[in-house]
Amino acid sequence: MSIAMNANQPYVEHEPKAPHQEPGTRLKQDGLSDGERNVSIFMHLLPLILAPIGAGPFAFLGPLVLWAIQKDKSAFNDDHGREVMNFMISMVLLSIILCITIIGIPFILVLWIMGIVNMIRGAIAASNGEYFRYPFTWRFIS
């Protein structure tokens, strides 16, 4: 078996398929490797793993490192990493704002529960090859 090379069309071993979206569903990326999905899943779940073992305030460092390593290798991982980082920054700022306003202190528990639920939703979307947007998140990193 021979592969004819054309000077205008370089040989590409794996060309990712363009994302597509069916009506009423999330934007989905076909042709993702298991590694790409697993990295994205791990980016969403890493803060949940790090927070209980005492790394609470630094739980954002795990996804940050993963995103920094993978962002140039996969557009899917880049998008999920950016989304996780935007969410983590938003959670920290919202927690600070709620702590400053005495009335907001009871709502911190609601904010954290919402954060846990949405991190799990993000991991499920990543496992299905779907793009995910966290609700109530400021987009600092575009």
pTM of the complete model = 0.76
pLDDT at 39: 92
User: Which residue ranges make up each domain of the chain?
Assistant: 34-127
Euclidean distance between CA atoms 66 and 73, whole angstroms: 11
Residues of the chain with pLDDT under 70: 1-26, 54-57
Sign of the dihedral defined by the CA atoms of residues 102, 103, 109, 115, in that order:
negative
Residue 81: its pLDDT value, please? 93
pLDDT at 61: 83
What pLDDT, on a 0 to 100 scale, did the predictor assign at position 121?
96
pLDDT at 58 (0 to 100): 74
- Categorise residue 30: left if φ over 0, alpha if ψ from -120 to 50, beta otherwise: beta
